[in-house]
Structure 1
């Protein structure tokens, strides 16, 4: 299951959705809003999300992870709207019989979420400016890790 929320993410509530008596391990990832990016001082982030498509594609990504890594359960949630420094922007959790599968599946899910979901991020800087940003490096690192090919034009951009 994958959700989009305007409300703060509660890690313990999210974790409770993954309890499974057949699981021997649990791994989670929390993406926090930090106070800097690429030399800029950041005061806050703002996320816009195409909710229905994000939920649908997020569910596909989680199903892929279940099939690829043999995990028991997986759940993800992404915030939308205005977030302050320290807020959780994205939370991914995985329960599995074995830790290796849980770690790998969690990494796979967050990597896929970062490049496949219709999520737009605006950084609000300390100097009063705001800018929509894109992480091209995220796509390149993910492609390398998971053996995907990127178009030559995309590779040349970086």
Structure 2
């Protein structure tokens, strides 16, 4: 796969926005992810999704899953800080897809700056948090047997 250069990414985001599509850019948690996320936010992405080293989409090679990235929490903290320093934090939704298996995993991600969380391998189940005077969490409707950890 050919890496996307920043001006190409900006053009892709621009084209998607022209088509009125919500733009979600997924970044692997690695060193320097904060700088990359700032560029993605400046290019106009709606959501920045931080992926960790504890899973994958199924589309990646096994060697990439095992030898790439670091814990999503580290990347999440770096991205949140970089976006805040550059005055871009309110411009994007920061999503974390770092193997949330327990309620404590979601709480950690929230405390590190995530607005939205993915559960499961397909990312179809997610919860969003509204930061404000109170911490409010909007959870999708799940069957009662799946809510045991929460």
Do they superpose with TM above 0.5?
A: no
The structure with more strand, counted as a fraction of residues: 1
TM-score between both structures, scaled by the size of structure 2: 0.33
Higher relative contact order (CA 8 A, sep 6+): 1
TM-score between both structures, scaled by the size of structure 1: 0.32
